[in-house]
Amino acid sequence: MDLRPFLFALLFPHALTCGAAAGEPDIVVPADYAALDPAIAGWQARLERENPDRFEARTFRNGDRTVRYRWFAPERSDRPLPLVIVLHGSSGKGSDNLAHLVTGNSVVGAGYWAASEQQRGNPCFVLAPQCPPGEMWTRTASWTSPVHPLSPEPAPALADLMALLDKTLAAHPIDPGRIYLLGASMGGYGVWDWIVRDTRRFAAAVAICGGMPEGQAAALRDLPLWIFHGENDGIVPVEKSRLAFREILAAGGRPRYREYQDGPHSISSYAYLDPGVTKWLFAQRRKAAE
């Protein structure tokens, strides 16, 4: 007898199946998400070819540090447009300004938002920074550590991104009320760390297979947030996302949470390519007064 539905009922008393609203967990069964694998494989193959040419390679100096990133801008716009920032996982680290576009699940991560189909319906700028080798977006000691405090200062790689975002906003016609932050794995941890430190900067965030720093739920109760995780994640325990969801709910927030039953660590493409996620993300706007 499969006891997982009963265990989930204990964890989340109001659990629903796929399609749950904010504040209610959304559990996707393997038959539903595995059916998407052929389409995902097609996207990965296509974007691995297209990403290097679609994104401009750029560098930014932050003090004595060099920040490498890829930049996509629509051909033209007569109005300010949203900005999508995508933080890659560990496999994309490097100094080539390329691995984060063509390695692992990062292929889909930034590339999907710059694809022609996406741009027709949701034109936006896309920022894809590369974490330097030997560093992380956060100061997290270990993905599996039961203790995950917020460090007093951001990791150098994240501090670089904060400075890069300021520069980017000053240089391009970006709608400051529609800045969206997404990331998976190491990038998921980076999303959590950044939104806690700079909550009012973002209109919405998508955190995939990451973990929220301890005691920070109240800071996030007003931020539109969608959390994703695979039940059988062997790298970042699923309880990291479950706990964040429960704590933000208890603090008065209305986050979304989707868990892929039996899903592994590599579930980010299911989230990025979901039309419902796209629709939700671009509908979010930060109030001008914030």
Per-residue pLDDT averaged across 202-218, rounded?
A: 97
CA dihedral for 180, 111, 143, 249, sign (positive or negative): positive
A 10 A CB-CB count for 114 gives 25
Indicate the residue type of 106: S
Domains and CATH numbers, the chain: 20-70+81-138+149-282 (3.40.50.1820)
Per-residue pLDDT averaged across 85-94, rounded?
A: 97
Tokens of 73: 């801008």
Indicate the residue type of 262: D
Q: Is the pLDDT of residue 94 over 60?
A: yes
Whole-prediction pTM value?
Answer: 0.92
User: Is 35 within 8 Å of 21 (Cβ atoms)?
Assistant: no
pLDDT tens-place string over residues 70-80: 999 998 777 99
Per-residue pLDDT averaged across 178-203, rounded?
A: 97
Indicate the residue type of 191: V
The pLDDT of residue 19 is: 56
Residue identified by tokens 């504040």 is: 23
The pLDDT of residue 2 is: 45
Instruction: Write the DSSP string, 198-248.
Output: SGGG-SEEEEES--PPTT-GGGGTTS-EEEEEETT-SSS-THHHHHHHHHH
Q: Between these two residues, 11 and 162, which has the higher pLDDT value?
A: 162
The pLDDT of residue 75 is: 87
What share of residues in the chain are helix, strand, coil (percent, to 5)?
40, 20, 40
Confidence of residue 107 (pLDDT cuts 50, 70, 90): very high
Alpha-carbon distance 227 to 22, whole Å? 10
User: Is 124 within 8 Å of 83 (Cβ atoms)?
Assistant: yes
The pLDDT of residue 4 is: 43
What are the two backbone dihedrals, phi and then psi, of residue 228, each rounded to the nearest 5 degrees?
-130, 145
Q: Across all residues in the chain, what is the average pLDDT?
A: 91
pLDDT tens-place string over residues 33-89: 999 999 999 999 999 999 999 999 999 999 999 999 999 999 877 799 999 999 999
A 10 A CB-CB count for 124 gives 23
What are the two backbone dihedrals, phi and then psi, of residue 195, each rounded to the nearest 5 degrees?
-70, -30
The pLDDT of residue 77 is: 76
